[in-house]
């Protein structure tokens, strides 16, 4: 019951922070916590059978504390406590609550001249805005964070922010810029022996290689992460590497290896409540089930992923779930629902301004129309996909989509 233990630690840490900041134990606080039946709630958490329920229970725990109210002292200590709350919300996939906590912590960091705290909050605010597909806000926060880290000569903070800026460019379809930021961050991280960041960057560089069609290069990047993660006993990083390896093997058509790696990632994601990875694994398993012809299991896995992404307000991942649902309904011969699913995905990816995701939606739409026997619509969608893939220089995707077009035209 590692997760229930972690959540209880979160609650205890928040309680202690409040009491320490107030100067002495607050009997009203203890009474409020008792009245909220926290112990009964924690018993529910410990008895949760499905790990996907844990974020719901965790949100209730943190919600209880917020209702009680944070202490009024305006100190850097309370700023760091609020930042810790934000990290917890971010880990649990609650982007709006995480952003609110970071915003409050940022105010205290500025008031108390704690530049490191302010820079860290801004970086995390940028990360959260990326998950909400609010790119302009994200880039503003990240640039300000980078400037503050440079002011105080914090190279570790600079490397972490460069990594996030690389991810921003990746989502905007600028693979060259993303690779440039990742490479600069990797050089600094290796110099500082910041192993966890090195792992993250190797994973990200592997994803870029995968998009470009270099599966061998992608797998090499992912495999470098495994001994590093084992060395520092960082299982969340190991989960990400296993997940990415699963995707690469799936792209290669090696379903046995893909399934094995997805299952390893799933076990670790459940163990550590890694909500983003948990949703992604479910969705990738759904796509694997489709390739193997098991439509029912694909639908179950997609439903689980969609629930997670909706709760986390992860718009791009939610759009990807609609793409998979479109494929499922196409295989069932339901043209109307297929069109609805892909149109929903297209609206979300277009609003988010992510050309790579728009391209993926058009390609999925084209293949679905081909399956339904709608040749002209399939050709139109695949032509759109090629244009968007070319825009982001996704060479591997351009090639496979052109092959699909040639098949239809012949």
pLDDT at residue number 94: 74
Would you say residue 3 has pLDDT above 80? no
pLDDT at 278 over 50: yes
The 3-state secondary structure of the chain reads CHHHHHHHHHHHHHHHHHHHHHCCCCHHHHHHHHHCCHHHHHHHHHCCCCHHHHHHHHHHHHHHHHHHCCCCCCCHHHHHHHHHHHHHHHHCCCHHHHHHHHHHHHHHHHHCCCHHHHHHHHHHHHHHHHHCCCHHHHHHHHHHHHHHHHHCCCHHHHHHHHHHHHHHHHHCCCHHHHHHHHHHHHHHHHHHCCHHHHHHHHHHHHHHHHHCCCHHHHHHHHHHHHHHHHHCCCHHHHHHHHHHHHHHHHHHCCHHHHHHHHHHHHHHHHHCCCHHHHHHHHHHHHHHHHHCCCHHHHHHHHHHHHHHHHHHCCHHHHHHHHHHHHHHHHHCCCHHHHHHHHHHHHHHHHHHCCHHHHHHHHHHHHHHHHHCCCHHHHHHHHHHHHHHHHHCCCHHHHHHHHHHHHHHHC
**pLDDT the model gives residue 46:** 46
pLDDT, greater one: 175 or 133:
175
- CATH number belonging to the domain at 314-410, selected among 3.40.50.300, 3.90.870.10, 3.40.50.150, 1.25.40.10: 1.25.40.10
Domain ranges of the chain: 314-410
Per-residue confidence at 49, pLDDT binned at 50, 70, 90?
Answer: very low
Residue that wins the pLDDT comparison between 64 and 277: 277
Between 70 and 228, the higher pLDDT residue: 228
- Res 55 pLDDT > 60: no
User: How confident is the model at residue 12, as a pLDDT?
Assistant: 53
pLDDT tier at 276, thresholds 50, 70, 90: confident
The reported pLDDT for the residue numbered 329 is 96
Q: What percent of the chain has pLDDT over 70?
A: 80
């Amino acid at each position: 019951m590692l997760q229930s233990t972690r959540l209880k630690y979160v609650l205890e840490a928040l309680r202690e922070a409040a009491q320490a900041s107030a100067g002495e134990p607050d009997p009203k606080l203890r009474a409020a916590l008792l009245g909220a039946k926290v112990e009964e709630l924690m018993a529910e958490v410990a008895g949760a059978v499905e790990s996907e329920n844990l974020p719901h229970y965790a949100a209730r725990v943190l919600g209880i504390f917020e209702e009680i109210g944070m202490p009024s002292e305006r100190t850097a200590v309370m700023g760091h406590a609020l930042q810790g709350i934000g990290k917890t919300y971010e880990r649990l996939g609650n982007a709006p609550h995480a952003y609110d906590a970071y915003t409050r912590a940022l105010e205290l960091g500025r008031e108390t001249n704690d530049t490191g705290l302010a820079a860290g909050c801004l970086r995390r605010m940028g990360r959260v805005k990326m998950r909400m597909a609010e790119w302009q806000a994200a880039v503003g926060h990240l640039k300000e964070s980078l400037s503050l880290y440079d002011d105080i000569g914090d190279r570790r903070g600079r490397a972490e922010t460069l990594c996030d800026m690389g991810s921003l460019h990746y989502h905007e379809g600028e693979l060259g810029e993303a690779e440039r930021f990742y490479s600069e961050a990797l050089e600094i991280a290796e110099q500082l022996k910041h192993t966890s960041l090195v792992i993250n960057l190797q994973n990200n560089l592997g994803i870029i290689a995968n998009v470009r069609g270099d599966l061998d290069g992608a797998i090499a990047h992912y495999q470098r992460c495994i001994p590093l993660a084992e060395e520092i006993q960082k299982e969340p990083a190991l989960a990400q590497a296993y997940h990415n390896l699963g995707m690469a093997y799936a792209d290669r058509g090696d379903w046995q290896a893909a399934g094995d790696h997805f299952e390893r990632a799933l076990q670790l994601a459940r163990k550590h409540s890694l909500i983003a990875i948990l949703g992604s694994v479910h969705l990738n398993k759904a796509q694997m089930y489709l390739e193997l012809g098991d439509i029912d299991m694909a639908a179950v896995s997609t439903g689980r992923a969609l629930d997670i992404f909706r709760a986390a307000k992860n718009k791009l991942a939610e759009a990807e779930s609609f793409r998979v649902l479109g494929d499922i309904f196409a295989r069932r011969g339901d043209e109307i629902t297929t069109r609805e699913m892909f149109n929903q995905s297209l609206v979300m990816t277009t609003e988010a301004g992510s050309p790579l995701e728009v391209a993926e939606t058009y390609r999925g739409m084209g293949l679905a129309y081909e399956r339904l026997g709608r040749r002209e619509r399939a050709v139109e969608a695949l032509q759109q996909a090629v244009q968007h893939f070319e825009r982001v220089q996704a060479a591997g995707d351009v090639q496979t989509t052109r092959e699909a077009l040639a098949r239809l035209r012949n």
